[in-house]
A and B are shown apart, each in its own frame.
Chain A
Amino acid sequence: EAQVTQNPRYLITVTGKKLTVTCSQNMNHEYMSWYRQDPGLGLRQIYYSMNVEVTDKGDVPEGYKVSRKEKRNFPLILESPSPNQTSLYFCASSLGNRGNTEAFFGQGTRLTVV
C-alpha cells in the first residue's frame, strides 16, 4: 500500500531534550516536506527536500533540522525543543520535484513540549 509513515504519533517531551520524528514514504517520490499545523494558521512549511541531499528552508525553519540521505526517508530533528514548538506535525511527499503535484500526508505527530 502506497503510504507516508510518521513516528511517533504522539510525543511529550521536556524543553531542551533533542528529539527526532521519522518520516518514510514508499512511493519513490522526489519531493518531501514537513509542515506544522496550528489553530488559525493552517499548514506552514518547515523544510522541504527536492531530492536526496537537497534540502531547503520553508516558511518556519527556526529550531528545526532535516536530512535526506535516502530518497524514502526525511527525518525532522528538534535539537533543543521549546514550548512554542508544541504543535501537530505532518510529513508529506509528492511525485514532482517542485511541490506542484498531489501531496500525500503522513498520519501526523502531535508534539507537546513542557
Chain B
Amino acid sequence: GNSVTQMEGPVTLSEEAFLTINCTYTATGYPSLFWYVQYPGEGLQLLLKATKADDKGSNKGFEATYRKETTSFHLEKGSVQVSDSAVYFCALNVNNFNKFYFGSGTKLNVKP
C-alpha cells in the first residue's frame, strides 16, 4: 500500500544547529513527495515538494531530496532558528491521483 513514516518527535535543538527529520515512504505507483509545516496557531502550509526521483525541493533554507533507491525524503536545514519551531509533516501523492498520505508529524522545538 501507500504510506509515509516519519521520525517521532519532539526534536529539540539549539539555534543554529543542523536539522534532519527523516521520512520514508512506500508507494504502489509513481510518487510525488511533500513537506508541510504547521506553525503554532496556524494551518498547514506547503514547505517544499519534489515530483520525480533525484529532485531536490527547497524553501526557506530547508531542503529535501527525493531518493528512490532508499524511498526517502528527509528534511534538512543547516542552521535552524527559533522561528522554525513548528510541526513538520511529510506527505505522499501517488500517480498524481487526488489522495494524499501524510505522516504523523514531527514537532520541532528550537531553543535560543
Partners in one complex: no
User: What is the interface of chain A, defined by CB distance below 8 A to chain B?
Assistant: none
User: What is the interface of chain B, defined by CB distance below 8 A to chain A?
Assistant: none
